[in-house]
Structure 1
Amino acid sequence: MDEIDLRILAELQRNGRLSNAELAERVGLTQSPCLRRVRQLERTGTIRGYHARLDHHALGRGFEVFVDVLMRHQDRATTAEFERELESLPDVVEVFRLFGEPDYLLRVVVSDIDTYERFHTEALSVLPGIANLTSHLVMKQVKAAGGIPLQPGNSTLH
């Protein structure tokens, strides 16, 4: 991956709706080579997809909770079943399996605290292998996911 590929990725990460013509102009290529590079980045899985970022408040899901999950049993069958069942819960929008404790971190978006309480009681607490759930209610989002730093020198570590 060279500097032009990184510039293509940075531009698409900022705005995935750019036309090939706009993208090519921004990265200093003609349209055909730019499109070839984008297609190659897609084929290799570097670009995994294009998505619209939605406002969960506007969609009536303004109550956000992070949930620490501590597992009682971590054998392969239990963790596979736990992860499979999480996939079927649309209110759980992100799941991270972690080293150390907790074992999992879930991000849940629902309409309000009453809905979350029902979801916690009826869906989360009955998942297989759970020893403990700890809920962290979001007060406000300070920094949104802005993409992956791509340009050399953007890191705070030098």
Structure 2
Amino acid sequence: MDDVDLRILELLEENGRLSHEEISKLLHISRPAVHQRVVKLERNGVIKGYRGIVDWRKFEQKIKVLIFVKARCHNFKEIAAKIVELQVPNVKIIECQRLAGAWCMMLKVRVTAPEDLTNLIDEMVKHEEILETSTTFILSTIYEDGWKEI
């Protein structure tokens, strides 16, 4: 991977809908060269995929929270999978991060209403591995997924 590959990645991170033609003009290299590099980056798993960034405030799941979790972690991946796979109406788990420190896991979650969050936590604590949770409501987003909300 060289500086051109890194620049292609930066451009695609900023706007995943850029065409190879547009990238070639921005970087002053041929479109086939861009295509070849992007295919190689995809094949090597450097580019994992493309996605749309949705403004969920325009829909019902307007509330975002962080849930910090303490768990008995004999098999962290197993308990994390159980939590992420929970199916609770009006709840979407966006992220699950493993942490170092007092908390071993952090979930970023979107919910429609506070009672949906209650339902999620009630389901989580049914697992005996979950020892404690702490929830923080996100008041506003300043920067996320490469987008500034200021």
Q: TM-score, normalised by structure 1?
A: 0.83
> Do structure 1's residue 46 and structure 2's residue 51 form an aligned pair?
no
- Note the C-alpha offset of 1:134: 0.4
- Note the C-alpha offset of 1:83: 1.7
Bigger Cα displacement from structure 2, 97-106 vs 80-89: 80-89
The equivalent residue for 2:73 is 74
Q: Distance in 2 between matches of 1:18 and 1:93?
A: 25
> Do structure 1's residue 107 and structure 2's residue 104 form an aligned pair?
no
Q: Distance in 2 between matches of 1:89 and 1:57?
A: 23
The equivalent residue for 1:86 is 83
Structure 2 residue matching 1:8: 3-state secondary structure: helix
Matches within 5 A, 1:73-152: 73-76=72-75, 79-89=76-86, 91-121=92-122, 123-146=123-146
Q: Distance in 1 between matches of 2:78 and 2:9?
A: 36
Q: Distance in 2 between matches of 1:30 and 1:21?
A: 8
- Note the C-alpha offset of 1:40: 0.8
Contact 1:66–1:136, Cα closer than 8 Å, also in 2: yes
- Percent of pairs identical after alignment? 26
Contact 2:68–2:106, Cα closer than 8 Å, also in 1: yes
Q: Distance in 2 between matches of 1:88 and 1:120?
A: 13
Q: TM-score, normalised by structure 2?
A: 0.87
Count of residue pairs the alignment pairs up = 143
The letter for the 1-side match of 2:142 is V
Bigger Cα displacement from structure 2, 7-16 vs 86-95: 86-95
Structure 2 residue matching 1:99: 3-state secondary structure: coil
Q: CA RMSD in A?
A: 1.6
The letter for the 2-side match of 1:27 is L
> Gaps spanning 5+ residues in structure 1: where?
148-158
> Gaps spanning 5+ residues in structure 2: where?
none
Q: Deviations over 1:83-130 (max 9, x none)?
A: 221231362110001122200001110111122122222x22223401
